[in-house]
Amino acid sequence: MSSATEPEPAQLLVGSQVIGLRGGETVLEALERSGFDAASGCRAGTCCKCMLRADNPPPESQRGLRPTLRHAGYFLACQARPTGTLRIDQGEAPPTLQARVQRSEVVAQDVRRIFLVTAEPLEFRPGQYIEIFHPSGATRSYSVASLPADGVLELHVRLVPEGLVSGWLHGLEEGDSLRLRGAFGQCFHVADDERKKLLLVGAGTGLAPLLGIARDALEQGHAGAIDLVHGGLAPERLYLRDELSALASRWPNLRVHHCVLKGATKREHEGSLDEVAIRLSGPLGDTRAFLCGDAGVVRLLQRSLFLAGVPSGEILADPFEAAPV
Ligand SMILES: Cc1cc2nc3c(=O)[nH]c(=O)nc-3n(C[C@H](O)[C@H](O)[C@H](O)COP(=O)(O)OP(=O)(O)OC[C@H]3O[C@@H](n4cnc5c(N)ncnc54)[C@H](O)[C@@H]3O)c2cc1C
């Protein structure tokens, strides 16, 4: 008869299959022994090819992973030796939902801020992105600027010349309906160190995820300094300035900076976004950076901030790559 104190057997649950773990065996070894075609590489916790997801992975199997991956339950199967039951997530597809346009407003020459209400609640972390279905079936990704508590999904959509989905979204009116699915992405705030310095940098509509991440961190009580640097080619390309100023007045640890490549007025810094961000933020050793927007700019920021001292594991990036056409 089993007693209440008897330890739980070390085992894996993969769908309906139960795999008992042999003494000292890793999750990767147990999966291979049971005939699963598990991806693997270095087997030393470095290459990350064997990464899987579960609700409660052993902490040592998450060492070295980015904070958002740890938070989402990712772990390295080659380093995991569970002592109880570990249910491996088999990656259910995020739901597809019906939504309608609540409001759409022009915020810059080529940017609209579009508010959507979904028919059912969508689970997301501010800064993640959703995929919008065009009537043709094509999908494009857009980052969420709002918080779940807002009850709406706020998107910032730049009109791309000849763009299929951005052009269609810019033409939608209040009450129009659309389909979306999500949420995706690993660029969001994790409240694992409330004093850490946060540096949020992005150009153009890269502001959308950064706004969501900044608000989320502040609402969760982040106490460390938060620097948000929004860049654009010229002053008229920057948007939501009043809203950002109001946010910074409400939260003393938030500083908002604007940066343009040329033609700066008294309200903006002038220069390359990476150089301005590094100059404004001071020592970067204990910093977590969030970089969003145009893919080329994000790659430049990643390189420059790493060279300036931000640890690579603390750089969370969301490059807005164009969809293949
Ligand atoms: C993770 C992620 C998050 C994103 N979040 C946002 C967001 O919050 N706001 C937002 O506005 N966009 C965002 N994007 C970009 C968005 O998904 C679309 O790629 C963009 O709106 C263009 O789609 P389209 O259908 O209008 O243009 P398409 O029909 O796909 O492209 C039309 C033409 O423009 C070119 N093109 C497309 N994008 C660009 C570009 N950026 N620069 C130069 N040429 C381009 C294409 O190669 C093609 O020749 C995000 C992308 C990703 C991957």
Q: Sketch the domain layout of the chain as residue ranges.
A: 11-88, 96-184, 197-320
Average pLDDT of 70-97? 89
Question: What share of the chain has pLDDT > 90, as a percent?
Answer: 80
Average pLDDT of 135-146? 96
CATH code of domain 11-88: 3.10.20.30
Candidates 141, 294, 321: which one to mutate for ligand 1, based on the most atoms within 8 Å of Cβ? Answer: 141
Q: Is the CB of 143 under 6 A from ligand 1?
A: yes
Separation of alpha carbons 260 and 177, rounded Å: 36
pLDDT of 1? 47
- Per-residue confidence band for 242, with pLDDT thresholds at 50, 70 and 90: very high
Q: Which two tokens stand for residue 142?
A: 């857009």
Q: What average pLDDT does the structure give for the chain?
A: 93
**What type of residue sits at position 136?**
S
Separation of alpha carbons 61 and 43, rounded Å: 12
Centroid of ligand 1 to alpha carbon of 111 (angstroms): 12
What DSSP letter does each residue of 279-297 carry, written as one string?
HHH---TTEEEEEEEEHHH
Homologous superfamily of 96-184: Translation factors (2.40.30.10)
157 SS3 class: strand
Separation of alpha carbons 247 and 110, rounded Å: 24
Q: Is the CB of 163 under 6 A from ligand 1?
A: yes
Average pLDDT of 160-176? 97
Q: Is 85 exposed, middle or buried (0-12, 13-18, 19+ CB in 10 A)?
A: middle
**Above 90 in pLDDT, residue 153?**
yes
Instruction: Read off the pLDDT of residues 177-213 as tens digits, 9 standing for 90 and up.
Output: 999 998 998 899 999 999 999 999 999 999 999 999 9
Q: Is the CB of 288 under 6 A from ligand 1?
A: no
Peptide bond into 223 cis (omega under 30): no
What's the pTM?
A: 0.87
Q: Which CATH number fits domain 197-320: 3.40.50.720, 3.40.1280.10, 2.40.10.10, 3.40.50.80?
A: 3.40.50.80
Residue nearest to atom 13 of ligand 1 (CA): 142
pLDDT of 5? 67
Contact 226, 217 (CB under 8 A): yes
